[in-house]
Structure 1
Amino acid sequence: MKKTFKEEMMSVKLKRLTALLLSACLAAGNITTAFGAPVQQDPEPGARVRTSRLISTEETVWRYLDDNTDPAAADDTKEETPGSPSNASPSDASPSNASAKYGFYRFAAGKNKASSKTGRLVWTSADYDDSGWKEARGSFGAKKGEIADLGDGLIPYTLLAQYIEGPDVAEDTDIPAYFFRTTIELEDIDSISALNGEIFYDDAAIIYINGEEVHRAGVPEGGYTQNLEYGGTNAGTPINNKFQITDLSMLKEGSNTVSVELHQGRANSSDIYFDFCSLEIGTPASESDEFITTEGTVWNYLENNTDPAEGSEDRTVWTYPEFADEQWKSGKGSFGAKKGAIADLGGGYIPDTLLKHYIDDTKTAVPAYFFRTDIYLNDVSDLEALEAEIAYDDAVIVYINGKNVYEGQVPEGGYDKNLAYGSANGLSAPSHDTITINDVSMLRDGVNTIAVELHQDRAGSSDIYFDFISLKAAQPKPFKAISLGVWNDETQTAVTWYSSIGEDGKVRIAEKADMDGDSFPEQAFQFAAERAEANDAGFYSFQAVMTGLEPDTDYVYQVGAGETWSDIYEFTTRDYENGFNFLLAGDPQIGAGSTDTDTEGWQNTLKTAMKAFPETSFLISAGDQVNTASNEAQYAGYLSPKELLSLPTAVNVGNHDAGSSAYSQHFQVPNVSSMGMTEKTGKFGG
């Protein structure tokens, strides 16, 4: 049975309990990453292997204190305050200091009299001596004093001491804070413009580099006045936090010290957790709203005929942000090859970075290549759409945070495995596509992963090419919710759409055979549309009917408003004389569960159905297209499958569709009779 992505992730986290076998696996050669992807242990000579990952859960060794010790307690240069370890006693201890509160102190093993940092943060300095601290890899934590699941499959790899020990301490009193230190090596720091990080924490964390605070999460207002102090989110499960550091003035060439203080929310907390998942060199959020460029974006890529999802039942697992790609090569610019070398593929398309063209020493082309990069976004709620420009040869699929957002020249039926040949049309020169991505629901504040799979048309292909020319913020297209519907007879097809343009609407249609390249044929028929204010604020509903359609004919069409036209879409009429085939769907009901999940399931259903029955003439939807009659997001989900741009539908009103004008604005009903009609029509269907 195929695992869901969440189940895949749960499995990954559970596998951390067996991480003690890691060193033995490394010695044995190739290993499998947490996401099933084989790691290249020996990069090819001259390969540019990604080095931007500075910290990772699996590889970074931390020195840490988990014994209720104040790491600044031995600092002779700090100002002494009432209740500090040098003058405190159980009778005069400061209540805000957890150690003093319970009349119990320990002193840090570090000796820091030469440190440039003083006060409670002396331990964050690069020259602080932490040689007496414990040492281990992450993740770190405890639940009721043991290794256990803290929720969402987050299980600590290294057990932290959770409770204060001492004769005068109440039982199960939590240690208030923990302290971690590690070093990262940097070179050419002037070329580093940002660092991207990701942590899980419970209950609060502050991160320092070379003694300077760079990020905090879950910290109470006012912060902390002492190291051993409670305060934080008191979260039920560890919180995932992604962040970017753009003030890098504290960095230096060579060794840099990263320090973290982790705080409990209260003295009787049930758990504690810390995982510094990653810290890597990144690109700062663009002020120009251009997130990817040929010249500036570094891609991590796999070119050696390796399946990045090997070992996983989900072939797209490598497209998710959590996937570990640090062993992939990295490069900028356009990528490609012609007969194994850098050369013009036609039209002036010359790759900057050479891709491995052939499998080993053969002349058999590598079937597919895989690319990943991260972009950093602020305030994604302000982003209405994205516009991308790409050039490729032969076929490409683009993902954002694991969601398929574009397919170019992908063969009918797609690919059933990653290392597959195939394209809709073998290209003699790279295709240059401009894409508008209107559905940006997958974006999130912080780090977002762009992934691309590039496929060869055939094993004997002479070239390969990929260039992600640009990705930038855009205004959404003025047309959406386009759908076809059956009408009075086979020679007629209805079309309905929404537009933000409140001018006269129309649809034009022509035979596909008359297309001149990408230009709509001049020999086109045009039909006027009726316009009404839509249920969706700021939009208008348009409805038209195309007539005079011939059987067994491929047509192209565009909808328009004013002087603006939509993209070109196509559909095919079937045989009028010898019967017909149709699909029946019952209760798609987008939004009955999660709108996103229901939409994805509906898209997959139609894709699978049309692959199995490509001669289908139309679709009957038996009712309940959506769960909430007025919810336009649910209608957007129902109308999102690209198959509905070419497959006429006949819809029935369900009880969940009634009660709003949205149903009649999205669908036209043919041959309507008033017989038996009441004001409650539709309320008892579905």
Structure 2
Amino acid sequence: MIWINGHRVAGFDDGRVTGTRNLEYAGEAHAAPQTSAFTAPGSVLKDGTNTIAVALHQDREASSDAYFDLSSLTTSTAPPPAVAAGNTPGSAPAGQTPATSAALPERVILNPTATPATSQTFSWIAGDAAQETGEIEIGEAAGGATRTVPAQPAGRVNANPKQHFSVTVDGLRAGTEYRYRVGAPGSTSEWARFTTATAGASDFQFLAFGDAQIGLDTVWPDVIRRAEERAPQAKLSLHVGDLINTATNEKEWNSWFAGLKNVAASRNILTTPGNHEHSGDTRLGTWKANFAHPANQPTGTTIGELGRLAEGESDAAKQWAAYFEHWSKMAADTVYATDYQGVRFVTLNSNRNTASLTPDNLPGCFGLDCPSVDVSASWLRFEAAWLDTVLQQNPGK
């Protein structure tokens, strides 16, 4: 339960708390931390110092520990006062969008599609918790009309009340500079620019980063700055795991994106998860909210001969089929390929966590031919079979 300046503003899994005695147990035991979000009215705040109090209950006498993490705490700007009758609010100069006091979108990032010469994916997080819809306005930087494309919500994670969004824009021209802004009416990002890949093979530079996780608010921004100074013409960058230290820590994610702010909004960012992205978030809910990569991950039909193991009515076949379906969902935004100016980039997911790799309601199977005998090895076979297909079909080889 949470109080601000003596006012109770939230309760989570607190149905057993009666408040009639000093010592009470509440909630239920969970293997992983449970998350929730809350919103408090501005009326409970005061000028100067505000006090937040938290009551955290064990669920039973024999409970060994309790865990609490307030991963994000933000304030939103109150709406402007109503304009009195007969008064005319100031207007923006001709041809310019009126200024707004609404919070702007954050974590704006470009992720590649499978065809970055003619399409582009954009992701961001809303500037305000009340925003339920998002969109992108885009047009050629040289001038002309713009078009607006609605975005898809990507979820709220880690008790952060703000919605994530992503949108893919098709029908772009190769080797062309575009301008765009994302958000919602009245709350859009600043205009940014990017250039699509060329249609054929041509030389380019790219940057590669690993293990940014430590010093995200100190060292990381300087690393990006120095990389940009060394390779100012780089077209994209790779981030090969352990972007952050704790998967569900919103402060760390904010710092990672802040270090990349100008770069992420103007060139493609390819990311692949490491063990730190899986720790505490084994099904990668945070990762998939922040990034939207090509949806060409392995499926039961893109893994060659391995896919035949799911054919038939045997217990082993039914179990393989269940694993393939689950693994394809797990692989989304983590196992993918994109072709950029004659180079095929491929990312793989080295996760070997048996619990996250096992689907709910897995069919029973007994025998050495069952994939459940060695789930980790079976998962790697799944990725390897897909990789063989992707490399065989590489148009740039």
TM range (shorter): 0.3 to 0.5
Taking structure 2 as the reference length, what is the TM-score of the superposition?
0.47
* Structure richer in strand, relative to its length: 1
Taking structure 1 as the reference length, what is the TM-score of the superposition?
0.28
* Structure richer in helix, relative to its length: 2
